[in-house]
C-alpha cells in the first residue's frame, strides 16, 4: 500500500475568500497548502472593475499569515455593463486571469449577474479576441426548470449556443456536477475545460436530505444523484487535462447556514488535500492526483506548474480536523466527508 506521495504544490482554481474578518479567518487554510487560487469576485458589492480587483488583491495579500507565499489570481464579475476596455487593460496588466459569469439569481450574491446574454456580447467578443478565459457558473435560473436539471439545461440552452457563436472564447465550466457536464467537456474539440470540487467527488444529494435536512452539505450547484458523482470521480481521476481542482470552498458563518433560509456553500479549504488523497486512493488513482490538483489547471490557464512540492502521508491514526473553525466573523463548519481521513499533508 502506498503511504507517501510527493506532488507539485497544488492550486485551487475556484475559491471564495470573502473579505474583512472572514478573509482573515480563512485565508491561512488555503495558503498552507496551495500556491495560487482563482479568487471569486462575488463580494458585496461585487468585484466589477480592474480597480476593484486590484484593491481586493491588496486586502488578500495583507491578510496572509506571516511567511506564507500565496498568489491570488483575480477575476472580474461580469455584468451587463462591464466595460470591454477595462477588462482588456486588466488582462494586459497581468492582474485579471478570468471573468466570471453568474447568471442572475443562480447563487450567493449573483443578483447583479447577467440576465440577457446579448448584453454581455461586447465583453465576451473582446475576451475571445485577446484569449481571456470566461469562468461560468453553469445553471439556468428559470422557475420551470428543476434545480437538479439546471446544469444540463444551461449546457443546452446557454453554453452550447454561446460556444457556437464564439468558438474562440475559452470557457471554464466551473464546479461541474453532472455526467452531462463531464460528457459535454469531453466532446468539445477545443477551448473548454472544467473544474470539479472536492465535495462533489464525495457526496451525492442524499447527504443533504436523508435522515434530516443537513445544511452543511448544501451548496450550489447542488449535489446530484450517485451516477453523477461517479462520473465526476471518473473524470477527476482519469488524468484528462481538461479536468482540474476548483474547491469552491465557500465559507458562511453557522447562523447563516443553520436557519430557515440557509446559504449555499461548503467549507473545504482546510481538509481538501486529505479528502482528495482518500478519493484518489479509493479509485486506485493516486498517481493521477498531481495532474488533477497541480498540473492540469496551470496548463489550462497558461501558467507554469509550481516548482515546490508537498508531501502527503498516509497515517494509521486519522488526521484530526476541527469540526468548526473560529473566525472574527463567527464559526464556520468544516466539511465532514463522513469517513476518517488517514491522508494528510506532512
Q: Residue ranges for the binding site?
A: 14, 16-18, 42, 100, 137, 175, 220, 248, 252, 264
Compute the distance between CA of residue 78 and CA of residue 124 in angstroms, rounded to an integer. Answer: 10
Q: How many residues bind Zn ion, per CB under 5 A? A: 1
Q: Is 248 a catalytic residue?
A: yes
* Residue 16 near ligand NCD by CB under 6 A: yes
Where would I find the H helices in the chain?
Answer: 20-31, 50-63, 84-92, 117-130, 150-154, 160-165, 179-187, 206-209, 226-236, 254-257, 272-282, 289-290, 296-301
| Three-state DSSP class for residue 203 | coil
* Residue 344 near Zn ion by CB under 5 A: no
Binding mask 257-276 for Zn ion (x = CB under 5 A): --------------------
Closest CA to 315 of 29, 30, 2, 7: 2
* Residue 133 near ligand NCD by CB under 6 A: no
Closer by beta carbon to ligand NCD, 220 or else 341: 220
* Residue 29 near Zn ion by CB under 5 A: no
Give the DSSP H/E element, type plus range, for residue 195. Answer: strand 192-196
Compute the distance between CA of residue 104 and CA of residue 85 in angstroms, rounded to an integer. Answer: 23
Residues 215-254 that bind Zn ion (CB under 5 A): 248
Binding residue for ligand NCD (CB under 6 A) from 219, 231, 285, 334? Answer: 219
Least CB distance to ligand NCD at residue 194 (A): 14
- Identify the active-site residue in 248, 254, 336, 344: 248
Compute the distance between CA of residue 28 and CA of residue 38 in angstroms, rounded to an integer. Answer: 15
* Residue 12 near ligand NCD by CB under 6 A: no
Q: Partners of 343 in the beta sheet?
A: 314
Phi, psi of 69 (to 5 degrees): -105, 125
Least CB distance to Zn ion at residue 108 (A): 8
Binding-site residues for Zn(2+), in ranges, read 14, 16, 100, 137, 175, 248
DSSP, res 266: B
* Residue 250 near ligand NCD by CB under 6 A: yes
Least CB distance to ligand NCD at residue 175 (A): 7
* Residue 107 near ligand NCD by CB under 6 A: yes
Q: How many residues does the chain have?
A: 346
| Three-state DSSP class for residue 251 | coil
* Residue 332 near ligand NCD by CB under 6 A: no
Closer by beta carbon to ligand NCD, 23 or else 250: 250
Closer by beta carbon to ligand NCD, 107 or else 198: 107
Binding-site residues for substrate, in ranges, read 16-18, 42, 137, 220, 252, 264
| Three-state DSSP class for residue 88 | helix
Asked whether 334 and 319 are in contact (CB, 8 A), the reply is: no
Residues identified as active-site: 248
Interacting residues toward Zn ion by CB under 5 A: 248
Interacting residues toward ligand NCD by CB under 6 A: 16, 42, 107-108, 137, 219-220, 248, 250, 264-265
Amino acid at each position: 500500500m502506498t503511504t507517501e506521495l510527493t506532488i507539485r504544490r497544488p492550486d485551487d482554481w475556484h475559491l471564495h475568500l470573502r473579505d474583512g474578518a472572514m478573509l482573515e479567518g480563512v485565508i491561512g487554510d488555503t495558503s498552507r497548502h496551495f500556491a495560487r487560487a482563482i479568487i471569486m469576485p462575488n463580494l458585496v458589492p461585487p468585484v466589477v472593475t480592474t480597480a476593484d480587483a486590484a484593491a481586493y488583491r491588496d486586502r488578500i495579500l495583507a491578510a496572509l499569515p506571516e511567511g506564507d507565499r500565496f498568489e491570488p489570481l483575480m477575476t472580474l464579475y461580469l455584468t451587463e455593463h462591464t466595460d470591454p476596455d477595462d477588462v482588456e487593460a486588466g488582462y494586459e496588466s497581468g492582474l485579471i486571469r478570468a471573468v466570471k459569469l453568474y447568471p442572475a439569481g443562480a447563487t450567493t450574491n449573483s443578483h447583479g449577474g447577467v440576465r440577457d446574454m446579448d448584453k454581455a456580447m461586447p465583453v465576451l467578443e473582446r475576451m475571445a479576441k485577446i484569449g481571456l478565459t470566461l469562468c461560468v457558473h453553469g445553471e439556468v435560473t428559470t422557475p420551470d426548470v428543476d434545480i437538479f436539471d439546471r446544469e444540463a439545461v444551461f449546457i443546452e440552452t446557454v453554453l452550447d449556443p454561446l460556444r457556437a457563436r464564439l468558438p474562440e472564447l475559452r470557457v471554464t465550466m466551473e464546479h461541474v456536477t453532472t455526467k452531462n457536464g463531464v460528457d459535454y467537456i469531453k466532446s468539445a474539440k477545443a477551448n473548454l475545460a472544467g473544474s470539479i470540487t472536492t465535495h462533489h467527488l464525495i457526496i451525492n444529494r442524499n447527504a443533504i436530505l436523508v435522515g434530516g435536512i443537513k445544511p452543511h452539505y448544501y451548496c450550489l450547484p447542488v449535489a446530484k444523484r450517485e451516477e453523477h458523482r461517479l462520473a465526476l470521480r471518473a473524470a477527476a481521476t482519469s488524468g484528462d487535462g481538461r479536468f482540474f481542482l476548483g474547491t469552491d470552498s465557500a465559507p458562511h458563518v453557522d447562523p447563516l447556514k443553520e436557519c430557515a433560509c440557509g446559504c449555499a456553500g461548503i467549507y473545504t479549504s482546510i481538509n481538501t488535500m486529505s479528502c482528495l488523497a482518500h478519493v484518489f486512493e479509493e479509485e486506485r488513482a493516486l498517481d493521477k492526483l498531481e495532474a488533477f490538483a497541480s498540473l492540469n489547471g496551470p496548463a489550462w490557464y497558461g501558467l507554469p506548474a509550481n516548482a515546490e512540492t508537498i508531501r502527503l502521508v498516509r497515517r494509521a491514526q486519522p488526521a484530526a480536523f476541527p469540526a468548526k473553525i473560529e473566525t472574527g466573523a463567527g464559526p464556520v463548519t468544516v466539511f465532514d466527508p463522513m469517513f476518517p481521513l488517514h491522508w494528510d499533508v506532512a
